[in-house]
Amino acid sequence: MLRAVVGDAGHPDPERVARALVVLRDGAMVGGSLDAPRAIRATLREAAESLLRS
């Protein structure tokens, strides 16, 4: 499903981006329990935006 959303948004490599977004999400889940949730949220957003621009 995420791959389809990324593809529909016009990204040229939706499979790679979808996989990376899932890894980011998983890391954010762990990071949120170890660090300040606001810091993790900001980092996740920055990383996801960067990835989507790639």
pLDDT (0 to 100) of residue 32: 86
For 1-54, the pLDDT digits (tens) are 899 999 999 999 999 999 999 999 999 999 888 888 888 989 999 998 998 888
Q: Tell me the whole-structure pTM to 2 decimals.
A: 0.77
Residue 12: its pLDDT value, please?
A: 94
CA distances to 16, 26, 37, 46 from 5, in Å: 13, 18, 26, 19
